Structure 1
Amino acid sequence: MPPPADLRLPSLDALLAFEAAARLGTFERAADELAVTASAVGKRIGALEERLGVALFQRGAKALALSPAGKEYLPAVRQALDQLAAIPLHQRASQRRTRLRITAPPTFARQVLVPALPAFTRAHPGIELEVVLSVPFLDLAGAEAEIAVRHGPLGEPGMAPLWCDDLLPLAHPGLLAQAPRPPRHPAELLALPLLRTPVDPWSPWLRAQGLDAAEPDSGPRLVDLGLVLEAARTAQGVALARPALARQMLSTGELVPALGPGRTPSVPAPTAYHLVLSPGAGAAADACAAWLRDAGAAAAAEGRALAGLVPPADDLSAVA
């Protein structure tokens, strides 16, 4: 039987955009789920409203909110989409994957998280990870996510560190070769350019060595630990670095302990990387969190070994 002449069926893409925006609360998150742009979601919903002749969302509200017509329309749309999804020919393996979003600081993501991704994919082929960068020092938390890696002070309530960091001077061998003689004592490093960052200042290390020296105040101010490592790798100065993040450069010899292996003193870092799960994140997020703890522990152990450090007895990474 032919459809009625006045039937006004909307497109499936428009219905999917409306349902996702209503469920997730923003056009941006709906766009991420549908693998389109937020502008495309807005256009599809606009076309749907034009076809129906009603507004489905309240315009001008601070948060995305359904209009009375939208609230009435949503259950019927969900029922229709559920019926379509139940058809076996419409189901694909990729549609049954669990998707998790992780936000992490840039250097942690590049040096710890990404190198460990193949192991996670092999162990959990049904979980799809989306990695989004955050900038903790500038308080840019990134997008909403089920799992967040945050860099902050030790001892914050409810925040368990992935591992406890050490800080020690690392440098490119070419920079050390420019000195009149290879530095062997902490005071001799003061003759070399010290790379500075507000994330890990030099003062705690200098005090621990009994040096009455001020915080370096010359040279670029690098507000990212990865930029500090890159500057050290290109022989621009000595970095006060975390071995877990520098282990790739330590393994290739691009960076070495500035006073020699086994002779370069370290100090405990006052900050660490912490793992935060959103409430009700689910079993997939728990599995991902366990993987991140293992990856962090492995990175910390490898970095310490390459830097010639001995893990302290109470090191969290040894039992993570």
Structure 2
Amino acid sequence: MTRPPRLPSLDALMAFEAVARAGSFEAAADELALTASAVAKRVAGLEERLAQPLFLRQPPRGLALTPAGHEYLPQVRQALALLQAMPLHQRASTQRERLRVSSTPTFARQLLVPALPAFQAQHPQVELELTLSVPLLAEGDAGADVEIRHGAVPDELAPAQVLLRDHLTPLAAPALLARHAPLRTPADLLQLPLLRTPLQPWAPWWRAAGLPGTPEPDQGPRFVDLGLTLAAALAGQGVALARLSLARHERAEGRLCQPFALTVPAERHYGLVCHRPSPAAEAFAHWLHAHCAAVEAENLSGAT
């Protein structure tokens, strides 16, 4: 008689799937309410049972799936999904769904976090976890279920993924404007310090203002983050070419002034990319698109 195969434990399979999704033993341990060493032991036991490694340990970069791990992961996820779909298992669960969201830093701070209470009120069953990415370095969260990305359309984002179509305009702190002669024409801005960031050149606004060929600022620090550029503007260090969506609270409170009514469409946009579809991801996407549509309408109505 053929002996039945010795199946790995469900705990080991869940540990393997969590580590593959979260990218580290520590992150998986938080999700499973275990210690990192306990998760590592379960994965090691599974690898021993299968007689082959599932992860490459690559300090200090972390873990990466082996070819065998890549092949095994979808099979494990399918098996776990079948178990989770059983009605008896669903009734026994707490019905809470975890959603890991990766976002660019400034979008998270200026647009997402202030609005999160509304999402939680609508979807209390979703346990949202927010992490930050580094746009210019293309460093994201490999374990994220959905990602808020800053990129070109359609090369990096599909039109349907775009959250809002932003507009740009110079913004400055009242104290900075008070130290200089009144700004009567766009060319007068050249008498003030202009903040610079590789994420947003000044050229589109200069062209729209009838000043094509105006060089980019070449003095002062370069801010590789739109939020740092806004912070420098708020501190009176210079004029920022800013997105209306990211500075709408500062404009409404009078902490940043818009010296000219002229705005230009942004050439890069924020978009939402779903890596792992789920009811929680769908609910979050629907809510965030609606929130950003409201912000875009607010920008258009109050641009001046």
Residues 150-299 of structure 1 mapped to structure 2, 5 A cutoff: 150-156=149-155, 158-160=158-160, 161-179=162-180, 181-211=181-211, 212-259=213-260, 264-278=261-275, 281-299=277-295
Moved more, 294-303 or 57-66: 57-66
TM-score by length of 2: 0.77
**Distance in structure 2 (CA, Å) of the matches to 1:172 and 1:37:** 48
Residue 58 of structure 1 pairs with residue 52 of structure 2: yes
Shift of the alpha carbon at 1:155? Answer: 3.1
**Distance in structure 2 (CA, Å) of the matches to 1:158 and 1:66:** 32
Secondary structure (helix, strand or coil) at the match of 2:109 reads helix
**Distance in structure 1 (CA, Å) of the matches to 2:54 and 2:283:** 40
CA contact (8 A) 2:103 2:130 kept: yes
Shift of the alpha carbon at 1:148? Answer: 1.3
**Distance in structure 1 (CA, Å) of the matches to 2:193 and 2:173:** 12
**Distance in structure 1 (CA, Å) of the matches to 2:38 and 2:68:** 19
**Distance in structure 1 (CA, Å) of the matches to 2:11 and 2:236:** 51
- What are the Cα deviations for residues 218-276 of structure 1, in whole angstroms up to 9, with x where unaligned? 111111111111110010100000111101211221101034xxxx3111111111111
Shift of the alpha carbon at 1:204? Answer: 1.4
2:110 aligned residue = 111
- What are the Cα deviations for residues 268-296 of structure 1, in whole angstroms up to 9, with x where unaligned? 111111111125x1332211101000111
In structure 2, the CA distance between the partners of 1:192 and 1:102, relative to structure 1 (3 Å rule), is same
CA contact (8 A) 2:206 2:214 kept: yes
In structure 2, the CA distance between the partners of 1:170 and 1:57, relative to structure 1 (3 Å rule), is farther
**Distance in structure 2 (CA, Å) of the matches to 1:87 and 1:247:** 46
Residue 137 of structure 1 pairs with residue 136 of structure 2: yes
Unpaired stretches in structure 2, ≥5 consecutive residues: 1-8, 57-64
Q: Which has the larger radius of gyration?
A: 1
CA contact (8 A) 2:16 2:43 kept: no
**Distance in structure 1 (CA, Å) of the matches to 2:253 and 2:97:** 37
The alignment covers a number of residue pairs equal to 272
4+ runs deviating over 6 angstroms: none
Which letter maps to 1:33? Answer: E
Which letter maps to 2:267? Answer: P
In structure 2, the CA distance between the partners of 1:182 and 1:151, relative to structure 1 (3 Å rule), is same
Residue 23 of structure 1 pairs with residue 17 of structure 2: yes
TM-score by length of 1: 0.74
Which letter maps to 1:210? Answer: G
- What are the Cα deviations for residues 33-52 of structure 1, in whole angstroms up to 9, with x where unaligned? 21456445214555x68xxx
In structure 2, the CA distance between the partners of 1:223 and 1:58, relative to structure 1 (3 Å rule), is same
Which letter maps to 2:32? Answer: L
Residues 9-88 of structure 1 mapped to structure 2, 5 A cutoff: 18-24=12-18, 26=20, 28=24, 30-36=28-34, 38-43=36-41, 58-59=52-53, 62=56, 63=65
Secondary structure (helix, strand or coil) at the match of 2:163 reads coil
**Distance in structure 1 (CA, Å) of the matches to 2:285 and 2:273:** 9
